[in-house]
């Protein structure tokens, strides 16, 4: 009897392995997994993502799939493959991001599909190349104002400097001045929660919230903050379109006003998550090459003076 139970258990494990990792269309890319059910290669990938991807590329070629946290993630690491992917008729951006948005900011699937098309068109129109000039003046003014507090000399962490300057400048431009906390007394607690939220966003957008308790705590704190942010934005929402902030345009187009704090948090993350590291690495490379630094300073001086 005990032997029969053991054999059944072994057979069950073999079937699970076959279903999860082995049985696939021969034309599909190679799949990297593990013996651990559901988690798959999540531990190896999470430990050192860039090294993991590079090793997988060397071993399996430019296109490969990673099985982790119950899902398959296919990486396309060559230019030709990327072009084919984005031109594919099978590509559905809504379906690709829906679950991630639900996990990250608690927007249910039904509400997401109901709002996505309208909000996407609104954002694309307001933030399109032809309209970016509307933000440039305000953004430059905000950056000058916050950089003025830095002084003329000193040392510090470049990533911290970029965050301290870019966060209030971008927030005041997109959400309206004074809507989000930007004063030194208010910003400390916010930075702690937002940095935690940002750092674990990739994991949290794919994994159940119960596995990330600290991230979940920061998410709830930020959503609570955005209840006030949305309330203030609604109270000051002008009738004329040209005077509205991007958040107020979002509120005008959103179906299901109770989800406004959730979409507000998503907008904040989208405005910072890529902009901060891009600004950091751009500055880091400029500072690493004296000739490039000199040329850029000359160009800036020709516009802004010394």
Q: Per the domain annotation, does 284 fall within a domain?
A: yes
Q: How many domains does the chain have?
A: 2
> SS in 3 state form for 204-243?
HCCCCHHHCHHHHHHHHHHHHHHHHHHHHHHHCCCCCHHH
User: Which residues is 22 bridged to in the sheet?
Assistant: none
| Residue of 9, 263, 249, 227 lying closest to 114 (CA atoms) | 263
Return d(Cα 118, Cα 137) in angstroms, integer: 27
The span from the CA of 201 to the CA of 50, in Å, is 17
Give the DSSP letter of residue 30.
P
Q: Is residue 235 part of a domain?
A: yes
Is there a single domain that holds both residue 128 and residue 63? no
pLDDT (0 to 100) of residue 100: 92
Distance between CA atoms of 176 and 142, rounded to whole angstroms? Answer: 11
> Could you give the CA distance from residue 148 to residue 161 in angstroms, rounded to a whole number?
12
pLDDT at 182: 67
Residue in the structure block whose two tokens are 């000051």: 236
Q: What is the pLDDT of residue 306?
A: 77
Give yes or no: residues 53 and 121 share one domain: no
Residues 80 and 130 in one domain: no
Torsion angles phi and psi, residue 74, rounded to 5: -100, 125
- The boundaries of the domain holding residue 171 are 114-150+157-304
Q: Are 120 and 210 part of one and the same domain?
A: yes
61 and 196 part of one domain: no
CATH code at position 118: 1.10.630.10
Task: Give the containing element (helix H, strand E) for 82.
Answer: helix 79-86
Residues 221 and 292 occupy one common structural domain: yes
Q: 10 pLDDT band (50/70/90 cuts)?
A: very low
Within this chain, do residues 173 and 56 fall inside the same structural domain, yes or no? no
> Is residue 23 assigned to a domain?
no
Half-sphere exposure of 283 (CA within 13 A, CB side): 14
Radius of gyration, CA atoms only, the chain: 24
What is the rounded distance in angstroms from the CA atom of residue 222 to the CA atom of residue 245? 20
Report if residue 20 sits inside a domain. Answer: no
Give tens-digit pLDDT for 71-126. Answer: 888 999 988 888 888 888 888 889 989 999 999 999 999 999 999 999 999 998 98
Whether 21 maps to a domain, the answer reads: no
For the chain, the helix, strand and coil percentages under 3-state DSSP, each to the nearest 5: 70, 5, 25
pLDDT at 271 over 80: yes
- Would you say residue 240 lies in a domain? yes
Answer yes or no: do 69 and 138 share one domain: no
- Within-domain flag for 108: no
- 24 within domain boundaries: no
Indicate whether 134 and 251 sit together in one domain.
yes
pLDDT score for 29: 92
In DSSP terms, 71 is beta-bridged to 68
Q: Are residues 127 and 82 in the same domain?
A: no
Tens of pLDDT, residue by residue over 161-184, are: 898 888 888 888 888 887 777 677
Mark whether 84 and 207 lie in a shared domain: no
- 184-226 tens-digit pLDDT: 777 788 888 998 999 899 888 888 888 889 999 999 999 999 9
DSSP code, position 25: -
Residues 85 and 118 in one domain: no
The DSSP element (H or E) to which 6 belongs, if any, is helix 2-17
Cα 244 vs. chain centroid, distance in angstroms? 25
């Amino acid at each position: 009897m005990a032997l029969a139970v053991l054999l059944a258990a072994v057979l069950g494990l073999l079937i699970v392995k076959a279903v999860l990792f082995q049985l696939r269309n021969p034309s599909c890319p190679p799949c990297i997994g593990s013996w651990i059910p559901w988690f798959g290669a999540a531990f190896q990938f999470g430990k050192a993502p860039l090294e993991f991807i590079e090793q997988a590329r060397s071993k399996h070629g430019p296109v490969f799939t990673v099985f982790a946290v119950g899902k398959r993630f296919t990486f396309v690491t060559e230019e030709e493959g990327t072009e084919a992917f984005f031109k594919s008729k099978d590509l559905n951006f809504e379906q690709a991001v829906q679950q991630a948005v639900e996990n990250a900011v608690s927007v249910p699937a039904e509400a997401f599909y109901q709002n996505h098309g309208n909000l996407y068109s609104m954002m694309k129109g307001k933030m399109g190349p032809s309209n970016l000039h509307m933000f440039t003046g305000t953004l430059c003014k905000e950056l000058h104002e916050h950089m003025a507090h830095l002084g003329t000399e000193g040392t510090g962490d470049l990533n911290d400097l970029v965050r301290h300057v870019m966060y209030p400048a971008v927030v005041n431009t997109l959400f309206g001045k004074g809507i989000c906390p930007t004063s030194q007394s208010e910003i400390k607690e916010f930075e702690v929660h937002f940095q935690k939220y940002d750092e674990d966003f990739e994991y949290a957008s794919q994994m159940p919230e119960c596995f990330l308790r600290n991230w979940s705590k920061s998410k709830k704190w930020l959503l609570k903050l955005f209840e006030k942010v949305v309330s203030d934005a609604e109270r000051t929402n002008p009738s004329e379109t040209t005077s509205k902030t991007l958040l107020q345009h979002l509120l005008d187009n959103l179906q299901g006003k109770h989800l406004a704090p959730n979409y507000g948090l998503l907008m904040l993350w989208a405005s910072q998550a890529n902009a901060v590291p891009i600004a950091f690495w751009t500055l880091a490379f400029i500072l690493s090459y004296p000739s490039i630094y000199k040329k850029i300073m000359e160009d800036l001086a020709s516009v802004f003076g010394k």
